[in-house]
Amino acid sequence: MTFHLRDASPADLPVITEIYRDSVLNGTASYEITPPDQAEMTSRFEGIRSKGYPYIAAEGEGGTFLGYAYASAFRTRPAYRWLVEDSIYLAPEARGRGVGTALLKELLVRCEALGFRQMIAVIGGASAASVSLHRSLGFEMTGTLKGTGFKHGKWLDTVLMQISLGEGTATSPDPNTYPGSLFAE
């Protein structure tokens, strides 16, 4: 499959909303039950982008939108500012074709360049495909939270995976640079 990566834009929000809608209704990556509308997805997009987090789109031949990935705060407390959480959502026709791998690789590069030191994956439904994708790029299993969600008539586990970025915990971060400046202490 031929595709390229680029920054996601507000013009992508209708298809981002539709891909997420499909994931909410048919998958377990999100524990939402009711898909948010485009206004809500726009608000979420703007909130992530306004803080400087990367939000990436995968586009196929002829401009076909294949998926998206973004990083965001894992938690909002200041000491967490060096840690990001990744999110990846793909159109059904893009799954299993290397699009998710390319998106996550690019997300890792961008987050490291911004100065983040750790990335965590919170994998709803303990998706084997998502666990495999993250493991293939160096994420390590850090835990499984049993029965954390109930969706599609069954209890779901949540898998946590983590990877160090840059110098990881080997050195102290510079609080005067991004992402240090994200939160006032």
Mean pLDDT score across all residues of the chain: 95
Task: Note whether 30 and 124 are within 8 A (CB).
Answer: yes
- For 65, counting Cβ atoms within 10 Å of its Cβ (0-12 exposed, 13-18 middle, 19+ buried), the class is buried
Q: Is the pLDDT of residue 184 over 70?
A: no
Q: Is the pLDDT of residue 1 over 80?
A: no
Residue 81's pLDDT band (cuts 50, 70, 90)? very high
Q: Is the pLDDT of residue 145 over 70?
A: yes
CA 54 – CA 49 distance, rounded (Å) = 7
CA proximity to 125, closest of 154, 105, 100 = 154
Mean pLDDT, rounded, for 52-64: 96
